[in-house]
Amino acid sequence: MSVLSVRDLEVTYATQAGPIPAVRGVSFDIDKGEVLGLAGESGCGKSTVVNAILRLLPAGATTSGEVLLNGEDVLAMKAGRLRAVRWTGASVIFQGAMHALNPVQRIGDQLAEAIVIHKLSAEREARLRAGDLLEKVGLPPRRLRDYPHELSGGQKQRVMIAMALTCSPSLIIADEPTTALDVMVQAQVLSLLNELQHEMGLAMLFITHDLSVLVEVCDRLAIMYAGKIVEEGPSGPVFDEPAHPYTEALAAAFPAIGDARFRKSPSGLGGDPPQPDAIPAGCSFHPRCPVAFDECATVNPDLYEAGERRRAACLLVKQAAEVPS
Amino acid sequence: MSEPARAEPAAPSDEDPVLEVQDLHVTFAGRVGLGAGVAGKKAAVSRAVDGVDLTLGRGEVLALAGESGCGKTTLARTIMGLETPKQGQILFMGEPLGTSTKVLREYRRRVQIVFQDPTAALNPRQTIYESVAEGLRIHGVTSQDGMSEEKLVARALARSGLRPPETFFLRYPHELSGGQRQRVVIAGALVLEPEIIVADEPVSSLDASVRGEILKLLLGLRDDFGIAMLVVTHDLGLAWTIADRVAVMYLGRIVEIGPAEDVLTRPLHPYTKALLEVVPEAGGLNRPYLSGEPPDPTRIPEGCRFHPRCPEVSSGAAASAGVEPKCLGEDLGLVELQPGHFAACHLAAARQGEAVSTTSD
């Protein structure tokens, strides 16, 4: 059984200008010990997916579909059950640790808080566990007495990781966990996350716009564009031989140093990602697509088979599959 | 714009640099608490830029790379005339940069900056036309090449890829996408016809699919108008995509500089090697990386400033080559180890010396 199974998730925000579809039918599974990377640009709906999984969306949002966490539908849970599942079933490492920590509370108190609230152990044991967790993420336990401003950016991000582990969840959602960090510190944090994930057999949903980071840490990738997944599959092949033209453009934004193809020839897409309130008809990517043809403006592609365990939402992929080889 | 293979521009000649930085030092005074001050304690001085020599050729794209806190932004700001150097000088077109307001104003017309975040760089209550025309008004340019202000603004917008320019005149920044806003910022720099553009992380706040187009635009400006560019970035992939030369900074000093191909594919300095190791790529998770964070510019280590984090020192490679005492005790500048390729490393210099002596034997 998958740790997380998202089925036909749709999220619509109600605004004064009318309903805005942010997520338009997203499905994926994450197994125990698997890392799924969800990539896409700002506004593609990836953060909305994260918030929908733990029902953290604002009141004006309507959600449909299913979010099965260890087989139980989060979207159908009563408030009490939902509170119990948050942090023990799935926890989040939020973006920008510098803003996610409470500046006037000691690190130790913040770490122990979740354990105490979930009544997993008494205050004293919670503190001991907090110390153990700090060691696990590579910080000395004496740091429990520190305030957030006494830590560097990388250290704060380590505390955020420890915090996500406090209640031993089966799923960790990492939302842009290294975006605000320096390259060298980013490498340290990624390698720590990878170690912990392997050691504890965690399922992980990793979200970022940086495809090169995802390729490094994820088993599988899902690429989102305009509220939908447009390509999914094992991370290496998806990055190296993209089936969808959007994935190809995204991958080209992270050039391999030493690869003569990228030298002095930056490649990008014309136009901009669509606003969620003005998604083009047909394939939502067609106005920016370098290989679009007439049909793309009218037909909204499904995810078609694109090789072993791979799928892509592109009519060219469908055509290639139909031609008997 | 379909030019996969761009003609390599003539190699920038060293005889005619547009910008020359000589032995530049910039320091910031720290602060002490009142009690400590009364007790006579001196504030620690932060040596943000600590002896930098640099030339920028006409039409050259130079990438300045390094971790945050290495001084790359301070160097760029000093080149813009926004910080006063403690020591050393900046030469523009061969002339030392003066300090009078009049001289600096003229200089700032010819050296323009493009900031990282266009949303912060543009005034949200100003129309696109006003934002682009502001520079012209500040510098008192009412007409140029026989063109009125309106024509000049339109031309700059068109050159930045915002076409037709008139449709953007009365719009506000919030009506544009991130990529378009960055084009407006570039138009604002371009309208003054600068010799140099300093771009501080020009694409890092933009969506990945939009970045390529902005980089194409910057490279096009170099090719069409011969504008030299200093691109400040932490992203070595970006340097690979657009730079002619790459300079790597560590703790206020340039530790390696040379042609982009050489520095990025055959690095000589262990710090450059470490930076290249951490560029994320498939299967790269078990690579070595430097532990710790960049040291404090108020306490620059003795000897080679990189030695406390240097993998060559900790692995004993420097000791077995006999240079470890030098690493720990002797500060060194850039040494030309390959033609045009300089590095500040005792070990690399020693290895180079060996290679030279064995070939001459």
H-assigned helices in chain B? 34-38, 72-79, 101-110, 118-121, 128-138, 149-159, 178-190, 208-225, 236-242, 260-265, 270-277, 311-314, 317-320, 324-329, 346-360
B117 close contact with A: CB closer than 8 A: no
Interface of B with A in 177-196 (CB under 8 A): 177-180
State the smallest CA–CA distance between residue B273 and chain A in angstroms: 12
Mean pLDDT for A204-225 is 91
Whether the Cβ atoms of residue A75 and residue A53 lie closer than 8 Å to each other: no
Residue B63 binned pLDDT confidence (cut-offs 50, 70, 90): very high
- Two tokens at B240? 């690979």
Residues A157-179: tens digit of each pLDDT? 889 999 999 888 999 999 888 87
Q: Residue B195: pLDDT above 80?
A: yes
Mean pLDDT for A287-310 is 93
Interface of A with B in 170-199 (CB under 8 A): 182-188, 190-191, 194
The predicted structure's pLDDT at residue B11: 45
The predicted structure's pLDDT at residue A313: 96
CATH fold of the domain at B58-82+98-243: Rossmann fold (3.40.50)
The predicted structure's pLDDT at residue A97: 65
Q: Do B210 and A272 touch (CB under 8 A)?
A: yes
State the smallest CA–CA distance between residue A136 and chain B in angstroms: 16
Q: Which one, of A226, A227, A255, A228, lies nearest residue A239 by Cα?
A: A255
Residue B5 binned pLDDT confidence (cut-offs 50, 70, 90): very low
Between A182, A183, A268, which is nearest B210 by CB?
A268
Q: Do B216 and A154 touch (CB under 8 A)?
A: no
Q: Which residue has the higher pLDDT, B8 or B330?
A: B330
pLDDT, averaged across chain B: 88
Interface of A with B in 21-50 (CB under 8 A): 41-42
Mean pLDDT for A47-73 is 93
Residue B86 binned pLDDT confidence (cut-offs 50, 70, 90): very high
The predicted structure's pLDDT at residue A98: 66
The predicted structure's pLDDT at residue B37: 73
Residues B10-49: tens digit of each pLDDT? 444 455 799 999 999 999 987 777 777 777 777 788 899 9
Interface of B with A in 308-327 (CB under 8 A): none
Global pTM value = 0.86
Q: Residue B6: pLDDT above 70?
A: no
Q: Do B279 and A266 touch (CB under 8 A)?
A: no
- Is domain A4-89+167-322 classified as CATH 3.40.50.300? yes
Mean pLDDT for A140-147 is 91
The predicted structure's pLDDT at residue B183: 95
Residues B321-332: tens digit of each pLDDT? 999 999 999 998
Residues A303-313: tens digit of each pLDDT? 999 988 999 99
Between B209, B278, B289, which is nearest A273 by CB?
B209
- Residue to substitute from B61, B209, B281, interface A, most A β-carbons within 10 A: B209
Residues B144-182: tens digit of each pLDDT? 888 899 999 999 999 999 989 999 999 999 999 889 999
The predicted structure's pLDDT at residue B8: 42
Interface of B with A in 193-212 (CB under 8 A): 207-212
The predicted structure's pLDDT at residue B361: 42
Q: What is d(CA A56, CA A36) in angstroms, rounded to the nearest whole number?
A: 20
Cα dist from B169 to A15, A279, B165, whole Å: 29, 26, 7
The predicted structure's pLDDT at residue A31: 95
The predicted structure's pLDDT at residue A76: 93
Q: What is d(CA B361, CA B359) in angstroms, rounded to the nearest whole number?
A: 5
Q: Do A184 and B274 touch (CB under 8 A)?
A: yes
Q: Which ipTM did the prediction report? A: 0.81
- Two tokens at A11? 């999220």
Q: What is d(CA A189, CA A52) in angstroms, rounded to the nearest whole number?
A: 26
Nearest chain A alpha carbon to B274: A184
CA torsion sign, A167 to A169 to A175 to A180?
Answer: positive
State the smallest CA–CA distance between residue B98 and chain A in angstroms: 35
The predicted structure's pLDDT at residue B4: 41
**What residue ranges do the domains of chain A occupy?**
4-89+167-322, 105-166
B93 close contact with A: CB closer than 8 A: no
A98 close contact with B: CB closer than 8 A: no
The predicted structure's pLDDT at residue B79: 92
Q: Which residue has the higher pLDDT, A213 or B243?
A: B243
Q: What is d(CA A64, CA A79) in angstroms, rounded to the nearest whole number?
A: 17
> How far apart, in Å, do the first and last CA atoms of chain A sit?
35
Residues B259-315: tens digit of each pLDDT? 999 999 999 999 999 999 888 776 666 667 787 666 788 888 999 999 999 999 999
Residues B143-152: tens digit of each pLDDT? 888 889 999 9
Residues B11-20: tens digit of each pLDDT? 444 557 999 9
Q: Do A268 and B215 touch (CB under 8 A)?
A: yes
State the smallest CA–CA distance between residue B360 and chain A in angstroms: 31
Count of CB pairs separated by less than 8 Å, A with B: 146
Determine what percent of chain A is predicted with pLDDT higher than 70.
99
Interface of A with B in 229-288 (CB under 8 A): 235-236, 239-240, 246, 249-250, 252-258, 262-270, 272-273, 288
A154 close contact with B: CB closer than 8 A: yes
**What residue ranges do the domains of chain B occupy?**
58-82+98-243, 266-280+302-360
